[in-house]
Structure 1
Amino acid sequence: MNVVRIGIVGLGNMGSAHAQYIFNGKIKGAQLTAVADVREERLAWGRDKWADSVSYHASLTDMLASGNIDGVLIATPHYHHPEAAIEALQAGVHVLVEKPAGVYTKQVREMNEAAAEAGKVFSMMYNQRTNPLYQKLRDLIASGEIGEIRRTNWIITNWYRPQSYYDSGGWRATWAGEGGGVLINQDPHQLDLWQWTTGMMPKRVRAFCSFGKYRNIEVEDDVTAYVEYENGATGVFITTTGEAPGTNRFEITGDRGKIVIEDNQMTFWRLRTPESEFNRTFKGGFGEPENWKIEIPVQGSNPEHPGITQNWVNAILHGTELLAPGEEGIKGLTLSNAMLLSSWTDNWVDLPLDEELFYSLLQERIQNSTFQKKQVNEQTLDVDNTF
C-alpha cells in the first residue's frame, strides 16, 4: 500500500475540517475517497466541494461496503464513536476516532477489545499530544528531572461558553445528546494530558460537580476534583465554562522542583538539592533548598489535528509508533466518569471504576433528559460534533 484511502464519517464542523485538509493534500500518503453522513444537506455540501472525487454515502455501513476506503476517521456524535469504530474494525479497516473515545467506559472497553481482535491501526484524535510543550513536560517527568511527583494541579477555566452557545442546538449540554458537559465536551484533551504527561492514573477520586450552575443546562458546567495516587501524591483538577477571564495553568511539583505551564510557556523551578535530601541533612531552624528559575526552551510547532492524522497514516504505511493509541482513550474518559460518579453518589470513587454503576446512573439521566424527550416527540437526530 502506497496511499491510504480515507473515509470520513460525520460531516459536522470537525469532520468537514478533517475532510478538507486531507482532500487538499495536507497528509502525505493519504487520499480522501469517501464521506458519510445521515444528513443529505451535508452530503450536498460535500458534492459542491469535491464533486466526483469522492463517493457519498448515507451511512457508515454503505461506505464500508463500497470498498473505497482503507481507513476511516470517525467524527460522529459522542455516543456513536465506539459503535462506529467497532463496525469499521470488524470490517477490516483502520480507525481514527475523534475525541472523546465515548461517553462511558463500558462501551469504550468493548471498542478496545474489538481493536485488539481486528489487529488494525487504531488511534485517537488527541491532537494536544502533538504540542511540544506537553511533549517536553512528559520527557522531563519520565527522565526523572523533576523527581518523584508529589502534587499535580490543573486549573482549566478558559472554556467560556455563553447561554447562546448552548441554545444553538437542542442536543447540546444534555445527557441524551452529548452525554455530559464540560468534562466530556471541552476537557477530554486536558484529562488525557493529565495522565499522559505524568504517567500516572489516580487510585481514587473525590469530585464536586455542579449541574447547570452558570447556565440553563442539565449537565455539569463547574467541576472541582481531588485525586490520590498510589505513591502518595495528590492532584486537583478545576474546570468550568462559566468563568471569565479564564485560566489555563498546569503545575506539577516533585522532589526536585516545580514545573508550571501557563500562557504557552514552561517554567521550571529546579531545586539544587532534592527536597527529601535537604530535609534529611539540614540542621538549621529555618531554611529551604536553593532553587533556580529556568525558562525551558520548547522547540517545534504544534501540527494538532493534521499531525495526529499524519501519524496514523504513517503507522499504517510504515509501522510508525502511534502518538495517541486508540486504546488509551479510555484513560481520560475514566477520569471524567469517576468525577461524575463521585458527585452522583456524593462519595469517593475507587479505580478501577465501577462501570456498571456509572452506566446505570447515566441511563437514569438520559431517560429524564430534555433531548431524550425531544427525540421521542420528533424522532429526529440532528447533531454536530463541535466543541
Structure 2
Amino acid sequence: MIETRIGIVGLGNMGTAHAKYLIQNEVKGAKLTAVADPREERLQWARDEWGEQIKTFGDSKSLYRSGEVDAVIICTPHYDHPAEAMDAFDQNLHVLIEKPAGVYTRQVREMNERAAGCDKVFGIMYNQRTNPVFMKLKDLIDSGELGEIRRTNWIITDWYRTQHYYNSAGWRATWAGEGGGVLINQDPHQLDLWQWTTGLMPVRVRAFCQFGKHRDIEVENDVTAYVEYANGATGVFVTSTCEAPGTNRFEVTGDRGKVVIEGNRLTFWRLRVSETEFNRNFNGGFGSPECWEIEVPIHSGGAGHEAITKDWIRAIREGTQLIAPGEEGIKGLTLSNAMLLSTWTDNWVELPIDEDLFYNELQKRIEQSASNKQVNEHILLDLSNSRG
C-alpha cells in the first residue's frame, strides 16, 4: 500500500520534532513530503537537512494546493489552528492539529462542523491520552471499579515560569499573541484529561483567575475553579505558574473509593463495600467502610507525540477509531473559556457557554494587548508551539 504523504505546517520546535521522527521512518505507512513556514531561514534549514526529498513552501495555502500531500500536521500559533484546519479540509486533506484546538470555542465549533462535512480523519495532539497512568485511571472509571464519581480535584501548580521566561518573546503571555495564559498555554492536556478520564463535563463553573500575579504579564497565571456536574458531583481545578515548589496531584473520589495520581504513581483506596451500602446498613455511632490501599501497577512508556501520529495514520489507512479525535478539542477549551468568562463577568457560567459573550470579552482584551500589532501581521507562525 502506498505511504500516506504528510505535510507539516510550521517549523517551530513542535513542527520540527514531528518532522524528525517522520523523516526517521518511525511512523509506519507515513512519509514526510512537504513543509511550510513563512520564515526562509527555517525552509533553508529543512533543505540543508533533508535535501530535495522534501518540498518547501512559504505559506500553508500553497502546500495544501500543491498535490504533494494527503494529510497535514498543523503546528501554528493557537489562533490559527481552526482556520488552517478548515483550509486543509477544503483541499480534501486529513488533518492533525497541535493542541489547543483554538482560543475560543466559537471558532473551534466552526472547525468541527467543517470536519463533520467531509470524510477526512481529524485528530488532535493530545498525546497525554496515551500516558499509561491516565489510561489506567480511565479504565478504572469506565469499568465501574470506582463507582459513581462524587468529587474531582486537580492541583497542578508545578508550571513555574519566571519573568525572564515571559520577557523572552513579545507574544508570550499576551491576549493577542496566545489568547490567554496558564489555561491555554500550559494546561490544555490537563483540562482534556480531566474530562476524558472521568467522562464528565460540568454543568456550571465558578472560577477566580488572577492576571499577572507576581509577574508583569497580561494574562491569567493563577486560577482556582469550582465546577458542578449533572450527577451532583463537584470538582476543583487549581493551577499556577508562580508557585514554587509546585504540586501535581489529581484525585477522583467515587462511591467505591478514591484514586490519586501523583508522581506518575496511581494509588487506589478501594472500599470493600460501597459508601452507599455502608451508610445504608451501618448502625453504630461512628464508623467508616473498610478500605484497602492498592498501588496499581502501571506499565512504562506512552505519552509520546509520535504515538498520536501513529494512531492518526492507522485511522487514515485502516479506518480505526482515534484515541484523540480532533472534535474533542472543544471540550477542554470549553473549560478554559468558562473559567475566564466566569472571572470576567464575576459570576457562574453555565455550559454550554455563551460563545458570543466570550468572544466579545476576549476582543476587548486583544485590542489592548501589547502584542496586538505583531499578531495582526501574522509574523509569529509556530512560535506559540515552541514555548511549553
| Matched residue, 1:218 | 218
| Matched residue, 1:101 | 101
| Matched residue, 1:357 | 357
Cα distance between partner residues in 2 of 1:25 and 1:373: 40
Q: Is 2:107 aligned against 1:110? A: no
| Matched residue, 1:318 | 318
CA contact (8 A) 1:33 1:68 kept: yes
Cα distance between partner residues in 1 of 2:214 and 2:62: 43
SS of 2:331's equivalent?
helix
Cα distance between partner residues in 2 of 1:303 and 1:192: 14
Contiguous gaps of at least 5 residues in structure 2 = none
| Matched residue, 1:188 | 188
SS of 1:283's equivalent?
coil
| Matched residue, 1:200 | 200
| Matched residue, 2:166 | 166
1:18-67 per-residue CA deviation (whole Å, 9 max, x = no partner) reads 11111111111110000001111111111111111100001111001210
Query: Equivalent pairs: percent with the same residue?
Result: 66
* Alpha carbons of structure 1 residues 344 and 64: separation in structure 2 relative to 1, 3 Å: same
CA contact (8 A) 1:2 1:317 kept: no
Q: Is 2:79 aligned against 1:79? A: yes
Shift of 1:358: 0.1
Cα distance between partner residues in 1 of 2:229 and 2:375: 42
Counterpart amino acid of 2:4? V
Cα distance between partner residues in 2 of 1:222 and 1:242: 7
1:324-367 per-residue CA deviation (whole Å, 9 max, x = no partner) reads 00000000000000000000000000001100000000000000
| Matched residue, 1:241 | 241
| Matched residue, 1:301 | 301
Cα distance between partner residues in 1 of 2:160 and 2:187: 12
Shift of 1:2: 2.9
Shift of 1:375: 5.6
Cα distance between partner residues in 2 of 1:111 and 1:49: 34
1:297-333 per-residue CA deviation (whole Å, 9 max, x = no partner) reads 1124114200000000000011121000000000000
CA contact (8 A) 1:23 1:31 kept: yes
| Matched residue, 2:379 | 381
Cα distance between partner residues in 1 of 2:374 and 2:119: 40
- The RMSD of aligned alpha carbons is 1.1
Counterpart amino acid of 2:252? I
1:171-204 per-residue CA deviation (whole Å, 9 max, x = no partner) reads 1110000000000000000000000000000000
| Matched residue, 1:281 | 281
Shift of 1:373: 4.4
| Matched residue, 1:132 | 132
SS of 2:197's equivalent?
helix
SS of 2:161's equivalent?
coil
SS of 1:301's equivalent?
coil
Contiguous gaps of at least 5 residues in structure 1 = none
| Matched residue, 1:269 | 269
Counterpart amino acid of 2:144? G
* Alpha carbons of structure 1 residues 165 and 280: separation in structure 2 relative to 1, 3 Å: same
CA contact (8 A) 1:228 1:234 kept: yes
Counterpart amino acid of 2:247? T
CA contact (8 A) 1:10 1:76 kept: yes
Counterpart amino acid of 1:104? Y
Q: How many residues align?
A: 385
CA contact (8 A) 2:223 2:239 kept: yes
Q: TM-score, normalization: structure 1?
A: 0.98
Counterpart amino acid of 1:29? G
Counterpart amino acid of 1:97? I
* Alpha carbons of structure 1 residues 92 and 375: separation in structure 2 relative to 1, 3 Å: closer
| Matched residue, 1:24 | 24
